[in-house]
Structure formats: C-alpha cells, structure tokens
Amino acid sequence: MTRLKIVQAGDPVLRQTGHPLSPEEIALPAIQDLIVMMRDTMRDAPGVGLAAPQIGLAIQLAVIEDQPAYTQGIAAEVLAERERAPVPFLVLVNPRIVEYSQETVEFFEGCLSVAGFSALVKRSRRVTVEYLDENAQARRMEASGWFARILQHEIDHLHGRLYIDCMETRSFSTFDNMSRHWKDLPIAAVRQALGLT
C-alpha cells in the first residue's frame, strides 16, 4: 500500500480549480495507479473521501468510500437522522453537481486537509451528480443525506473550496472538543449552546 502525503490548508493547490481529465488521460496507467494510491491513502487516513488537490494535484479526480466499519457503535436512530449508510468505493472524474435540493441539513464536517478540526456546515440534503468513472464511462447519480454531504465536500475541493469557507464560524472546534462537547447533541442544541439561534 502506498500512502500519499495529504497537503494541509494554506497550500496553494487547495485553492486552485483542478483541470478536467480527458477519457484518454483517465485510461493512462499513471492515472489508474493514482486512483489506487488515493484509495489506499483515504483508507489509511482514515477518511470517507479524498480529492486530488489534497495530494497536491490540481486535477478533477476524487475517490469516496464510507465503509460499514466507520459507523460501528453509532446508534441506529442517529444513523437514520443523519441519513448515513455505507457507500461502496467510488471514483469521480470531472464531477458536476447538476441539481441541488432547496432543503438543507447542517452537521459537523472535518477534512483531512484541515487536520484535527471540525465545524458545522450547511449542505443541500439531496444532489444529482454527473461524472466519469474510472473507465471514462459517463455516469449520473442521485444522493441524499450523508452521501450527498460527502459528494459536495469532495467536489468543492476540485474547485478550490474548503469546508471552512462555508462553515458556521462559531462552531469551529478541535475534533477532540467537538467529540467531547457536541458529538451526541442534536444540532439545534449545539446551535443554542453556541448562541447561534
């Protein structure tokens, strides 16, 4: 397993718009190998998504996977509230969100490139995404809940955006403090405690 270095906030590549990959580029052994290395790096971190800018490459490529092991120990009602279910390994090349729901959901997000921190971020509850897969085949998918959040987060990376650009600033916290103080509270209670209501 090859683990790539994950760049951190402040690195200029995280603020660039990645260039799209052609079907011919996707087929190159270098890109196919990169996909495997990104998958391994994401799993090792561990994380549920990794975009190419996070490993220093300004290209439109991201990988996503929300393994069942990541939700062990989380109560079924909490998973249902967050609309979180496992997501099999997925490769997104040149993804575009073509539809956003008007309905939004707020929850804590973290990022492998803003290591150790978390904040409340409001995202569309449902999205429709068009993209190419690892075989350069055109795909279209609809996602809701936690999966929609992951997609929006990773696609933002491909356009030079980080979750800190759209976070509720008063909620910004170390991951340890978020887990200690806010993790098991309803978001409405978190907002009230932080003076956001």
Percent of the chain with pLDDT over 90: 89
Q: Are 141 and 129 within 8 A, CB to CB? A: yes
Active site residue 154: yes
Is 192 inside any structural domain?
no
What's the rounded Cα separation, in Å, for the pair 140 and 107?
25
Q: Which of 77, 106, 154, 168 is catalytic?
A: 154
CATH of the domain at 141: 3.90.45.10
DSSP H/E element including 82: helix 76-82
What's the rounded Cα separation, in Å, for the pair 32 and 55?
15
Per-residue pLDDT for 2 more than 80? no
Q: Are 11 and 51 within 8 A, CB to CB? A: no
Is 118 inside any structural domain?
no
Task: Name the more confident of 3 and 13.
Answer: 13
The string of pLDDT tens digits covering residues 85-102 is 999 999 999 999 999 999
pTM value? 0.95
- Full residue range of the structural domain in which residue 72 is found: 12-103+124-165
The string of pLDDT tens digits covering residues 63-75 is 999 999 999 888 8
